[in-house]
Amino acid sequence: MRETEQIADQLRRAYEGEAWHGPSLKEILADVTAKQAAARPVAGAHSIWEIVRHIAAWEGIVLRRMGGAVVKNVGTEVDWPPVRETSVAAWQRTLKALQASNRKLRTAIAKMTDQRLRARVPGKEASFYGELHGIVQHDLYHAGQIALLKKALG
């Protein structure tokens, strides 16, 4: 298996399952209601909903960078997209958007050549190798936050 396919598989495991560390992001989110997603059980912390939108936003940013875009100085509205509607339908759309962003990114990664992993990300000093491993780590970091927020909700 090529390195890029292995990275895409790690991103899939982090999102869909069969992850070494435990429950995947999708598994953690499976029983979260819209009300729970919008709640703030920990003062000063982001809601589950905000974190999910943040994860999808960064998967999109990495995808744009892979397409050659220079993405620097990401503003708050892009980094942490606000939740403006908290209906059940809006939560389902948010979950579908996360699934779509993850699949698009995995597909793009799997199509990359291993040689391109050594190339620099446009506008950054980092290579795509570091960027892609970083997005997997980012997703897992926030999956852990979501799991803790779920516990805080009871």
| Alpha-carbon 25 to chain mean position | 9
Split at pLDDT 50, 70, 90, the class of 19 is confident
Q: What is the pLDDT of residues 85-130, one digit of tens each?
A: 999 999 999 999 999 999 999 999 999 999 999 999 999 999 999 9
The pLDDT of residue 83 is above 90: yes
Q: Which CATH architecture has domain 3-153?
A: Up-down Bundle (1.20)
Task: Please determine, for residue 20, whether its predicted confidence score (pLDDT) is greater than 90.
Answer: no
Gap between the Cα atoms of 9 and 78, Å rounded? 26
Q: Is 154 a residue whose pLDDT tops 90?
A: no
In whole angstroms, what separates CA 108 from the centre of its chain? 15
User: What are the residue ranges spanned by the domains of the chain?
Assistant: 3-153
DSSP assignment string, 104-128: HHHHHHHHS-TGGGGSBPTTSSSBH
Q: Can you spell out the DSSP letters for 71-112?
A: --S--HHHHS------SHHHHHHHHHHHHHHHHHHHHHHHHS
pLDDT at 21: 85
